[in-house]
Amino acid sequence: QVQLVESGGGLVQAGGSLRLSCAASGRTSSTYAMAWFRQAPGKGREIAAAISWSGADTYYADSVKGRFTISRDNAKNTMWLQMNSLKPEDTAIYYCAASSRTTYARSTIPNYDVWGQGTQVTVSS
The answer to whether 94 touches 38, Cβ cutoff 8 Å, is yes
pLDDT of residue 102: 94
| Closest CA relative to residue 114, chosen from 34, 7, 56, 9 | 34
- The answer, yes or no, to whether residue 83 has pLDDT greater than 90, is yes
Residue 65 CB contacts under 8 Å (≥ 6 apart), including other chains: none
- The answer, yes or no, to whether residue 60 has pLDDT greater than 80, is yes
For 8-55, write each residue's pLDDT tens digit.
Answer: 999 999 999 999 999 999 888 777 999 999 999 999 999 999 999 999
pLDDT of residue 63: 98
